[in-house]
């Protein structure tokens, strides 16, 4: 299959061509059409399968297709570790190279003030680890009212690391009307429960 068949927009196709990607990986081929069709999706995929692009491409595309003047985040990506959050942020930078979105990664282990300043300057796509996000939420620094997309990346690892309570608190603070995407390497009973709570007919 070719990326063109997935109806990906030109500014993103251009990046994929530059990166030398020949076509979508299986997880991309399966999830991108569903995500572009406004569906909630559970993707079971390991690292290295192209799962980041599987959600980053449709999120970028949909934000672009419905442009909005806002300075608060429209997409929230939750990830278990700072390394993964930084990596996802880098992927948004790459795939969104010809679009003009601001993305920001926030995670623990570093000062909060620069992250708060960056939020104040305006962010379209926020990538966060649950602990630091809760911290900034409690300080009243996060405005979730314009969130349209919620992505749980490596959900199984987030649960293994004890983030279940934080993840639930964050998810329940978001607008009800949104599209939710759930990526995990494994599908356990706990994961299934979480998807039942937060996804609509995935």
The residue behind tokens 């991309």 is: 28
Q: Considering only residues 4, 37, 47, 186, which one is a binding residue for ligand AMP as defined by CB under 6 A? A: 47
What are the φ/ψ torsions at residue 80 (nearest 5 degrees)? -75, -30
Using alpha carbons only, give the angle 95, 101, 106 rounded to the nearest 5 degrees.
Answer: 90
Q: Residue 51, interface with ligand AMP (CB under 6 A)?
A: yes
- Of the candidate spans 48-56, 58-66, 100-108, 110-118, the one that interacts with ligand AMP by CB under 6 A turns out to be 48-56
Q: Residue 21, interface with ligand AMP (CB under 6 A)?
A: yes
Mask 85-124, x = binds ligand AMP (CB under 6 A)?
Answer: ----------------------------------------
Q: Residue 151, interface with ligand AMP (CB under 6 A)?
A: no
Rounded to whole angstroms, how far apart are CA atoms 73 and 56? Answer: 15
Q: Residue 49, interface with ligand AMP (CB under 6 A)?
A: yes
What are the φ/ψ torsions at residue 31 (nearest 5 degrees)? -90, -35
Q: Residue 50, interface with ligand AMP (CB under 6 A)?
A: yes
User: What are the C-alpha distances in Å from 61 to residues 24, 52, 82, 154, 163?
Assistant: 16, 14, 25, 22, 29
Q: Residue 24, interface with ligand AMP (CB under 6 A)?
A: yes
Query: Least CB distance from residue 13 to ligand AMP, whole Å?
Result: 12
50/108 with CB nearer ligand AMP: 50
Rounded to whole angstroms, how far apart are CA atoms 148 and 201? Answer: 17
12/134 with CB nearer ligand AMP: 12
What are the DSSP calls for 49-86, one per residue? SSHHHHHHHHHHHHHHHS----SS-SEEEE-SSHHHHH
User: Which residues of this protein are in contact with ligand AMP, per CB under 6 A?
Assistant: 21, 24-25, 28, 47-53
């Amino acid at each position: 299959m070719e990326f063109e068949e997935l109806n990906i927009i030109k500014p993103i196709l251009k990046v994929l061509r530059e990166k030398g990607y020949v076509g979508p990986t299986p997880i991309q081929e399966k999830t991108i059409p569903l995500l572009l069709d406004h569906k909630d999706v559970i993707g079971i995929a390991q690292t290295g399968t192209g799962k980041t692009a599987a959600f980053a491409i449709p999120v970028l595309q949909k934000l672009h297709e419905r442009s909005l003047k806002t300075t608060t985040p429209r997409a929230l990506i939750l990830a278990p570790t700072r390394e993964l959050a930084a990596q996802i942020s880098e992927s948004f930078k790459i795939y969104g190279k010809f679009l003009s979105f601001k993305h920001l990664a926030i995670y623990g282990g570093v000062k909060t003030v620069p992250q708060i300043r960056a939020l104040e300057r305006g962010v379209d796509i926020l990538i966060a680890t649950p602990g630091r996000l809760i911290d900034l939420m409690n300080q009243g620094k996060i405005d979730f009212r314009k969130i349209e997309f919620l992505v749980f990346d490596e959900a199984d690892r987030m649960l293994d690391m004890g983030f279940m309570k934080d993840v639930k608190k964050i998810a329940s603070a978001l607008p009800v009307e949104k599209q939710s995407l759930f990526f995990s390497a494994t599908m356990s009973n706990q994961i299934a429960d979480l998807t039942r709570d937060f996804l609509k007919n995935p």
